[in-house]
Chains A and B, each alone.
Chain A
């Protein structure tokens, strides 16, 4: 029996296996995003101004090195998992039966498409990087 705590997280699934792995991965990606997503927001909105960040600027500065592209791709992997698995919990809370299955499958397909699009963008924006 899981203790009922007055907190806002999903209660840790009992036993082992798939659900428990997702529960741990949600927390792992959360810590990853705490660093990468907050740093990303600070860079894009505090250190620089959106009006200066043209496609050319992204090519020259933001993605001017393989290291930044790798870091941003890692953030993409974290956020696609965390956001879509979070939505899976939301769908699970408010739907059931066939509707839940259809929505969850649509969610997974959306996650795969979005991950592919983000990966293509970060990898191919005039790659290889100009010296």
Chain B
């Protein structure tokens, strides 16, 4: 569908929202299972955790974060248009604003998550 309709921002916004939504749903299935594992078999959970902490796990978590952030920002855009229909006139501008926010919020988080995969300390330290 993405290829058939070479298109407008509204259509792409919808397609990305759907794809990211399905991806997040699939992860929720995995995520509830793994946290359930923590309560029934903590040792096995700690082993699964090593996959999450591996370089491969960090790439997947970054992709998950990207899906989550896009879905969250575009979801707000949808709510704005649902409850203030006159804002629909600016749906393209809001979509581009979403991508600016996506980059500004996402980049520091991406660097923080991926740093250990390259043998570096996470740059932002807390506590």
Contacts and interface: CB of A to CB of B under 8 A. Distances in A.
Interface string B79-98: 10110010010010000000
Given A49-B53, A87-B22, A7 B81 contact: yes
B56 interface: no
Range, interface on chain A? 35 or more
Interface in A86-124: 86-87, 90, 110, 114, 117-118, 120-122, 124
Interface residues of B, number: 53
A67 interface: no
A49 B114 CA distance: 10
Contacts of A120: 36, 39
> Chain B's interface: helix, strand, loop or mixed, by majority?
helix
A37 B20 CA distance: 14
4 nearest interchain CB pairs? A55-B42, A8-B14, A6-B10, A51-B53
Contact of A12 (B25, B77, B82): B82
A9 B94 CA distance: 14
A54 B42 CA distance: 8
B122 A49 contact: yes
Contact of A7 (B33, B78, B126): B78
A121 B38 CA distance: 8
A121 to B, nearest CB: 5
B65 to A, nearest CB: 6
A56 B49 CA distance: 12
Nearest to B72: A34
